[in-house]
A and B are shown apart, each in its own frame.
Chain A
Amino acid sequence: MNLGLYLHFPFCKSKCYYCDFNSYPLKNDHQVLSYISALHKEIALYSQKLNHSTIKTIYLGGGTPTILSGDLIYNILNFCKDNFKIENNAEITIEANPGTLDKKKLERLNKAKINRISLGAQSFNDSLLKKLGRIHTAQDIIDSYFKARESGFNNINIDIMFALPDQTFIDFQNTMKKAVSLKPDHLSLYNLTIEKGTKFLESYKEGKLNLPTEDEEYDMYSWAIQFLAENNFEHYEISNFAQPFKRSIHNQIYWYNQPYLGIGAGAYSFIKGYRYMNYKDPVRYIKEINNGKSPVDSGEKLSLRKRMSETIILGLRTKDGVNYQKFKVRFKINIEKVFNQQIYKLINLGLLRKNNYKIQLTKKGLFLANNVFREFID
């Protein structure tokens, strides 16, 4: 079995106002050390079970993994190599926040065979960055980006968010132009959503968040798609754009509904049709591990129907769409036997397109993807 490996680091310098991820402002080093030690123990737990599997990609996400010292990161990856069979030249990505990278750390990351950096830029407008609760400036992004390049990283992603409070179309165009001028290998473009438990939700409820209208969001998103295409980016997933041969291999594992192992607090795994999740609270996670117990909080065995519908929903997020042949090989049934009615309804609505090999979203369907996905949900 081929696997993607995800390692979660639930620490940040401070919490951004929009963020509902499993991350907490870092209080002391002791916290980090006991978490890292638990992480090592969980890796060791899987060592035996996965001795016939090959790890194809590794992704260090958070939080802010680069808040850790270069040595700690280096040690964890080495420990993974000791415990798992990892493919040569595996794609190894680390998420980094501008301002948490310096030359020395970057060298260690390089040594640890990390070969892809995902930089959380979000915007190149300092006043918007401040409104998001980011702790860096536009200049910090540029500095971090070039330091990484100078340290030999040749696969860098930049995360950008749009539809921000008070953001104008011109603001957004300027941010995109700056991002593209850095010539990143990959660009992720996320629409801001207001999530539970965030500061933004409170402001939103108080009517203090001046968000762009749906029409403005549409304009930003559709302009960006056009602009990135002109700059040689392939729009290969709803929110993701890549230079040729620079797609994120790890993320494609998710979209093709392939197996992955998640290590760390709140991490999800999807193995042999089971999806399960570790305890979200890092303290609880550490406690369970240290007591020699499984850190798994909950899980479900997905029904055939759910696995099929998730495969379609995730697949339709990608440019490649859902391939009939692959679907049949995987589920031993023709997709049209199961979802004929839905597929034709969506084709009639102009949201879906099909040929002899696959179904995929139309341009209209791309903007209204949720309306397509809902059709495949029971």
Chain B
Amino acid sequence: MLKDYHCNINYIRNFSIIAHIDHGKSTIADRLLEYTGTIPEREKKEQILDDMDLEREKGITIKSKSVRLYYHSKDGKEYILNLIDTPGHVDFYYEVSRSLAACEGALLIIDASQGVQAQTLSNIHLAIKNNLKIIPIINKIDLANANPEKVMQELKNIPELKGEKIIFASAKEGIGTSDILEAIVNRIPPPSGKPNLPLRALIFDSVYNSYKGTIVYIKMVDGIIKPEMVIQTMSNKKNYEVTEIGIFRPKMQPIKILTAGEVGYIMAGFKNIKDTRVGDTITDTVNPAQKILSGYKKVTPLVFCSIYPIDNKEYENLKIALEKLKLNDSSIFSEPETSQALGFGFRCGFLGLLHMEIVQERLEREYNINLIATTPSVMYKITKKNSEIVEISNPTAFPSKIEIEKIEEPYVKASILTPSQYIGVIMDLVQEKRGFFKNIEYIDEKIARLDYDLPLNEIILDFYDKLKSRSSGYASLDYELKGYQAAELVKVDILVNHELVDALSFIVHKVKAYQQARKIVEKLKEIIPRQLYEVPIQASIERKVIARETIKALKKDVLAKCYGGDITRKRKLLEKQKAGKKE
């Protein structure tokens, strides 16, 4: 039977773990679960909270997750610890910020060999913004190249962490686990809500389950919630009857009541995941709260591309697969689209590049659909001469030059953290990418933070890879959307054998149009097979050709041998080639 803890909010601690990718967040979580006996020995597997294949493979968390631990502290009392695991990547910034809003404290994990990263700093800022108590932990101290003293010095130089005691740990070796649990109990404050006020619960995630419908993850702020209560999502004033509530152990376990301070889930016959948006507040329809919890906003996709099935017969399957993915991830945007070159497909929007990659990979892997994706693009704002403003992400829909008064593109505020010897090369890189320098700040004598305004368009291509390769992997990047700025952009079309291939068109800054165009025509020259005649590949702006390559005509294609038995084999080979060419 469940112990009856819900009455005393003072024995609840809600915390999250924040870390740069690979600094060991999931392993720390595993140790906490083991130490508190939350996972029976026989169910143990690495990175318990990452249950998607992709999550385990990429070593990243994609969806937020939660688990309740019961911990018998050294002060002799039992505590409820709710761990809310958050996605680690900048693409999921909004989800991270919502998850943090459900906590009172955060474990900040830093790798003892890699030290402070750009994302570490932005994690700290995010935690401070959410009024979280931060417990810094230096992890992986067992590694041969670990340098915990140096990392400790780096941390001490961060003003926000002044006076915080640092814990040394090795999640792999199980070092420091009990220190961490004690710090959670003693240093993180209990939640501040009141059980006797009208219900207010923050939605920090939602998932779709084909048997149970939409399941909403909540942090109880005020009041209580019970089955059969009628509740309301405050942003859209929709009402639902609660069918089940429960907690995470880490599997879902039904419970009779959730009160202020607790973390759990609700099922209430939510039809559509879109009706239960992350960040929204749930209240009691009969006795509603007056004030919505702050911070709710609609997430908008930042990166767009078109996705087509390689085999057009797969279109229906792609449609179904996308719908299924959207059930669990309301941030994916998609609408049907047709291309002359590629047939039927979808224009899709994503939170960022990684998000896009993950969705494409899931479509290919979990739904077995081979895809072609066009170059990623961003959303442009175009003011036409007739003062009409249109938002366009798809180059195909780009108006012609004479219609355009002004084009604006999205900019991000980017901060790059780097060892000081790479500042020069990084400045060059940002310049190539049309960045505006804003500020430089030295964290200590060896590490600097560079602040830039950068066009998002430049980041989504190859910025991150280039940043990593030019800084030998040391520099790290974090960014958030800043707003729109006017830019001189042009649409480049690609023509193969004098015919426009709509799916290959792209939007680029005027200055870089030639360079990009050259790269693409050269690449196409390599991959398009030779034909019986010469095939020109051209890149053009407003019908003016700016780059050209020619695929030379096929010169030799002849089977050397053909004797008695060969004819059967050779005929089959020719039949196969012929069938291949038709498609």
A residues with CB within 8 A of B: 6, 189-193, 214-215, 217-218, 221, 238-239, 251, 254-255, 260, 262, 266-268, 270, 275, 277, 300, 306, 310, 313-314, 317, 349, 351, 366-371, 373-374, 377-378
* A370→B558 contact, CB < 8 A: yes
- On whether A193 and B577 interact (CB within 8 A), knowing A313-B571, A377-B571, the answer reads no
CA A368 to CA B581, docked complex, whole Å = 15
Beyond contacts A238-B562, A374-B574: 7 other A-B pairs, Cβ-Cβ < 8 A, are A193-B560, A314-B562, A351-B532, A367-B556, A367-B558, A368-B555, A377-B574
* B567→A310 contact, CB < 8 A: yes
User: Does B58 count as interface, using CB distance less than 8 angstroms?
Assistant: no
* A190→B561 contact, CB < 8 A: yes
* B532→A191 contact, CB < 8 A: no
Inside 8 A of A277's CB, which chain B residues have their CB? 565, 568
Task: State the Cβ distance, A221 to closest chain B Cβ, in Å.
Answer: 7
Contact partner of B530 (CB less than 8 A), chosen from A189, A214, A306, A317, is: A214
Closest chain A residue, CB of each to CB of B559: A370
Task: State the Cβ distance, B481 to closest chain A Cβ, in Å.
Answer: 43
* B571→A367 contact, CB < 8 A: no
B residues with CB within 8 A of A: 530, 532, 554-565, 567-568, 570-571, 574-575, 577-578, 581
Contact partner of A371 (CB less than 8 A), chosen from B557, B561, B563, B567, is: B557
Task: State the Cβ distance, B557 to closest chain A Cβ, in Å.
Answer: 5
CA A303 to CA B570, docked complex, whole Å = 17
* B532→A370 contact, CB < 8 A: no
Q: List 5 A-B contacts (CB under 8 A).
A: A218-B556, A238-B562, A262-B565, A268-B565, A277-B568
Inside 8 A of B559's CB, which chain A residues have their CB? 193, 238, 369-370, 373
* A377→B557 contact, CB < 8 A: no
Overall SS of chain B's interface: loop
* A369→B558 contact, CB < 8 A: yes
Inside 8 A of B565's CB, which chain A residues have their CB? 262, 266-268, 277
Q: Which of A214, A218, A368, A373 has the most CB of B within 10 A?
A: A373
Closest chain B residue, CB of each to CB of A378: B575
Task: State the Cβ distance, A217 to closest chain B Cβ, in Å.
Answer: 5
- On whether A254 and B562 interact (CB within 8 A), knowing A368-B556, A369-B557, A377-B575, the answer reads yes
Q: Which of B560, B561, B577 has the most CB of A within 10 A?
A: B560
Task: State the Cβ distance, A293 to closest chain B Cβ, in Å.
Answer: 21
Closest chain A residue, CB of each to CB of B531: A371
Inside 8 A of A221's CB, which chain B residues have their CB? 556
* B557→A367 contact, CB < 8 A: yes
* B577→A317 contact, CB < 8 A: no
Task: State the Cβ distance, A269 to closest chain B Cβ, in Å.
Answer: 8
Inside 8 A of A369's CB, which chain B residues have their CB? 557-559
Task: State the Cβ distance, B577 to closest chain A Cβ, in Å.
Answer: 6
Inside 8 A of B575's CB, which chain A residues have their CB? 377-378
Closest chain B residue, CB of each to CB of A376: B574
Inside 8 A of A373's CB, which chain B residues have their CB? 559, 574
- On whether A238 and B558 interact (CB within 8 A), knowing A214-B530, A251-B563, A254-B567, the answer reads yes
* B558→A218 contact, CB < 8 A: no
* B563→A374 contact, CB < 8 A: no
* B574→A191 contact, CB < 8 A: no
CA A214 to CA B563, docked complex, whole Å = 24
- On whether A214 and B556 interact (CB within 8 A), knowing A373-B574, A374-B578, A377-B575, the answer reads yes
Closest chain B residue, CB of each to CB of A190: B560
CA A373 to CA B577, docked complex, whole Å = 11
Inside 8 A of A275's CB, which chain B residues have their CB? 567-568
The 3 closest A-B pairs by CB, nearest first: A268-B565, A191-B560, A369-B558
Contact partner of B558 (CB less than 8 A), chosen from A254, A310, A368, is: A368
- On whether A368 and B578 interact (CB within 8 A), knowing A239-B560, A262-B564, the answer reads no
* B574→A238 contact, CB < 8 A: no
Inside 8 A of A214's CB, which chain B residues have their CB? 530, 554-556
Inside 8 A of B532's CB, which chain A residues have their CB? 349, 351, 368, 371
* A191→B558 contact, CB < 8 A: yes
- On whether A374 and B577 interact (CB within 8 A), knowing A193-B560, A239-B560, A368-B532, the answer reads yes
Inside 8 A of A371's CB, which chain B residues have their CB? 532, 554, 557
- On whether A239 and B561 interact (CB within 8 A), knowing A310-B571, A368-B532, A377-B574, the answer reads yes
CA A314 to CA B574, docked complex, whole Å = 13
Contact partner of A218 (CB less than 8 A), chosen from B555, B561, B564, is: B555
Inside 8 A of A217's CB, which chain B residues have their CB? 556
CA A351 to CA B553, docked complex, whole Å = 13
* A368→B554 contact, CB < 8 A: yes
Q: Which of B565, B571, B577 has the most CB of A within 10 A?
A: B565
Task: State the Cβ distance, A224 to closest chain B Cβ, in Å.
Answer: 12
Closest chain A residue, CB of each to CB of B562: A317
Closest chain B residue, CB of each to CB of A266: B565
Closest chain B residue, CB of each to CB of A275: B568
Task: State the Cβ distance, A302 to closest chain B Cβ, in Å.
Answer: 10
* A366→B562 contact, CB < 8 A: no
Task: State the Cβ distance, B11 to closest chain A Cβ, in Å.
Answer: 62
Inside 8 A of B577's CB, which chain A residues have their CB? 370, 374
Task: State the Cβ distance, A253 to closest chain B Cβ, in Å.
Answer: 8
* B555→A367 contact, CB < 8 A: yes
Contact partner of A370 (CB less than 8 A), chosen from B530, B555, B574, is: B574
CA A268 to CA B532, docked complex, whole Å = 34
* A268→B564 contact, CB < 8 A: yes
CA A266 to CA B563, docked complex, whole Å = 14
Contact partner of B555 (CB less than 8 A), chosen from A215, A251, A262, is: A215
CA A371 to CA B559, docked complex, whole Å = 10
Inside 8 A of B568's CB, which chain A residues have their CB? 268, 275, 277, 300
CA A262 to CA B570, docked complex, whole Å = 18
Task: State the Cβ distance, B110 to closest chain A Cβ, in Å.
Answer: 41
Closest chain A residue, CB of each to CB of B555: A218
CA A260 to CA B577, docked complex, whole Å = 28
Inside 8 A of A218's CB, which chain B residues have their CB? 555-556
Task: State the Cβ distance, A62 to closest chain B Cβ, in Å.
Answer: 13
Task: State the Cβ distance, A368 to closest chain B Cβ, in Å.
Answer: 5
Inside 8 A of A270's CB, which chain B residues have their CB? 564
* B558→A366 contact, CB < 8 A: yes
Inside 8 A of B571's CB, which chain A residues have their CB? 306, 310, 313, 377
Inside 8 A of B578's CB, which chain A residues have their CB? 374, 377
CA A192 to CA B560, docked complex, whole Å = 8
CA A377 to CA B560, docked complex, whole Å = 18
Task: State the Cβ distance, A196 to closest chain B Cβ, in Å.
Answer: 11
Closest chain B residue, CB of each to CB of A251: B563
Task: State the Cβ distance, A46 to closest chain B Cβ, in Å.
Answer: 16
Task: State the Cβ distance, A141 to closest chain B Cβ, in Å.
Answer: 20
Task: State the Cβ distance, A82 to closest chain B Cβ, in Å.
Answer: 24
Task: State the Cβ distance, B530 to closest chain A Cβ, in Å.
Answer: 7
Task: State the Cβ distance, A353 to closest chain B Cβ, in Å.
Answer: 16
